[in-house]
Chain A
């Protein structure tokens, strides 16, 4: 089975500091998408950032950036200048690739930002 692994069940960081959440995945596809979703206590699913596998440049969205290592099948999320509102569960997800659009999710990392 093709899997997505998030090895850090929980992490904490002080407000204004930087934190990196790790994610590795398995795939036999060459072109696919990778995503980080945020799930705050409200239980919404909010897209944080996405990466297209055929693009070498790492995606960036304001304070959020990724370190995408295609050969290593690694896709980590860096959150800079952490804010209290970043406290949430973070899920890494891989799209199936090709015409397979379903997402495979990791088990999540619970991030707590402390004041």
Chain B
């Protein structure tokens, strides 16, 4: 497809379980970002990948959160030992900073931790 895609669209899990969220960026976009949006709040930056550079992990809230990206393609955000406070919409975005500052957002994964 032409846009950023994310899967699953919804994820319900039990407290203590691990979850993996997937992001497929727009083809050719070198930069990929993960954000978290709690209900009624703005988006909080989590992690950023740019080409082959070391990722900027400064927004990850704890060591239970990690992310990987394979080359300039798919990324996976993993949350281990989920807690109820992890419930939120997780959004991925991609961009091609060499030509444009615009970030294109995916539809998000709504995570609910029971």
Contacts and interface: CB of A to CB of B under 8 A. Distances in A.
Interface of A: 4, 33, 35, 37, 43-45, 47, 50, 52, 91, 93, 95, 99-108
Interface residues of B, number: 23
A107 B31 CA distance: 24
B90 interface: no
A102 B101 contact: no
Given A50-B101, A91-B42, A43 B89 contact: yes
Contacts, number: 52
B108 to A, nearest CB: 7
9 contacts: A45-B43, A45-B93, A101-B33, A101-B48, A101-B103, A102-B45, A102-B56, A105-B43, A106-B42
Given A33-B101, A103-B43, 15 more contacts: A35-B101, A37-B105, A45-B43, A45-B91, A45-B93, A45-B105, A91-B42, A100-B56, A101-B50, A101-B103, A102-B48, A103-B33, A103-B103, A105-B35, A106-B42
A104 B95 CA distance: 15
A93 B103 CA distance: 11
A101 B89 contact: no
Contacts of A44: 105, 107
Contacts of B97: 99, 101
Contacts of B63: none
Give the top 4 A-B pairs by smallest Cβ distance, nearest first: A105-B42, A45-B105, A33-B101, A105-B43
Contact of B42 (A33, A50, A95, A108): A108
A34 B107 CA distance: 22
A100 B43 CA distance: 17
B102 A103 contact: no
A91 B91 CA distance: 15
A3 to B, nearest CB: 11
Contacts of B59: 102
B70 interface: no
A50 to B, nearest CB: 7
